[in-house]
């Protein structure tokens, strides 16, 4: 039933190294993908997005890669910083195909960046 999956509940990385967070999806109608970052007691904050017509989008230290054939996307953070420690949610929508803008979320991956 869950259409967006984040199979790693947690990830620990040394400061300065690369963090790679993974996400898989099952619905082929998804055409827009987003990553959100969430700190405790706060709402999710938009981080970066990618349209299905692209395979890569970069914004500073954050890069999202999309592999449509594998229905897989990943978020790379380079270099990782202690302030990046948070829960990261992958989300998807089928807004072009269905006109609906509601987001489908994964269960999140807790990233811990060790100083």
Partner 1 sequence: EAGVTQFPSHSVIEKGQTVTLRCDPISGHDNLYWYRRVMGKEIKFLLHFVKESKQDESGMPNNRFLAERTGGTYSTLKVQPAELEDSGVYFCASSPGTSGAGEQYFGPGTRLTVT
- Which chain residues interact with partner 1 by CB under 8 A? 2, 4, 32, 34, 36, 41-46, 49, 89, 91, 93, 95, 100-108
Closer residue to partner 1 in complex, CB, 34/113 = 34
Closest CA to 44 of 73, 86, 83, 92: 86
Question: Cβ of residue 72: shortest distance to partner 1, in angstroms?
Answer: 17
Q: How many CB atoms lie within 10 A of CB 26?
A: 13
Question: Cβ of residue 102: shortest distance to partner 1, in angstroms?
Answer: 4
Closer residue to partner 1 in complex, CB, 61/110 = 110
Sign of CA pseudo-dihedral 98, 51, 44, 10: positive
Rounded Cα–Cα distance for residues 23 and 89 (Å): 9
Question: Cβ of residue 108: shortest distance to partner 1, in angstroms?
Answer: 8
Closer residue to partner 1 in complex, CB, 14/45 = 45
Sign of CA pseudo-dihedral 85, 47, 96, 98: positive
């Amino acid at each position: 039933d869950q259409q967006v999956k984040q199979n790693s509940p947690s990830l620990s990385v040394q400061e300065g190294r690369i963090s790679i967070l993974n996400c898989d999806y099952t619905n082929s109608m998804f055409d827009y993908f987003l990553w959100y970052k969430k700190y405790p007691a706060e709402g999710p904050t938009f981080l970066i997005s990618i349209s299905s017509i692209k395979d890569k989008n970069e914004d500073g230290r954050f890069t999202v890669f999309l592999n449509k054939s594998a229905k897989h996307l990943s978020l790379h953070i380079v270099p990782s910083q202690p302030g990046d420690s948070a829960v990261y949610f992958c989300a998807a929508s089928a807004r072009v195909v269905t006109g609906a803008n509601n987001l489908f979320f994964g269960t999140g991956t807790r990233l811990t960046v060790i100083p």
